Amino acid sequence: MFKNWKIKQFNKRTSSPKFKPQEVTHSLGIKPGDVIADIGSGGGYYSFEFAKHVGETGKVYALDTEQNFLDYIKNEINKHKLTNIETVLIKDNAIALPTNGIDLIFLRNVFHHLPEPIKYFAQLKKYLKLHGRITIIEYSKSHFHLFLRGKHFTPEAEIVNTMTRCGYIISNKFDFLPDQSFVIFKKE
């Protein structure tokens, strides 16, 4: 029961007007039929939002390293009879997605958790469609959060440097999030 409470708190925090989730979703330009990978989906707030936008012809992959988050999402999928979300457990940084099948890979507050970001993002390239994009939203400076300890941020310059080294270029950049960078990349 505590786990579900904690997951609901993550979703509540993510949906807070402070983090401008509607503006974030709108800025992504999601279309019906798109295929999206929500890496580090947590409690699934964005996965469920994306599912509304991609419609019945689209698909959302909710990926996380924590099975309890994915179990929560599966319960919500079943409760609401959703057919366009699939959960995927990430094990040992191995990701199971369709090659050349993803329109948008979305990572929110995940970058700082990656032990080898260059290797990780180089690997993600194979999943993107020709004009696919990767969105990275990340705290750009230290912040306090009840559930988090340690370094939970990555400066935007470090993210851009990493992505450039992996063969990506900036497609779009937004500055409406007060404490987070928000950059969309595409393959060179």
Give the model's pLDDT for residue 151. 59
SS (H, E, C) 110-126: CHHHCCCHHHHHHHHHH
- The mean pLDDT of 108-116, rounded to a whole number, is 91
Give the model's pLDDT for residue 149. 47
**What is the C-alpha to C-alpha distance for residues 148 and 166, in angstroms, rounded to an integer?**
29
Read off the DSSP letter of residue 96.
-
What pTM was estimated for this model as a whole?
Answer: 0.91
Q: Is 65 exposed, middle or buried (0-12, 13-18, 19+ CB in 10 A)?
A: middle
The answer as to CATH 3.30.2350.10 being correct for domain 33-187 is no
Contact predicate 164/117, CB 8 Å: no
**What is the C-alpha to C-alpha distance for residues 155 and 65, in angstroms, rounded to an integer?**
23
**What is the C-alpha to C-alpha distance for residues 87 and 156, in angstroms, rounded to an integer?**
29
Contact predicate 107/80, CB 8 Å: no
Nearest alpha-carbon partner for 70 in 155, 115, 78, 142:
78
Contact predicate 152/112, CB 8 Å: yes
Nearest alpha-carbon partner for 168 in 118, 100, 96, 106:
118
Give the model's pLDDT for residue 108. 95
pLDDT digits (tens, 9 = 90+) for 148-164: 445 567 899 999 999 99
> Would you kindly state where each structural domain of the chain is located, as residue ranges?
33-187
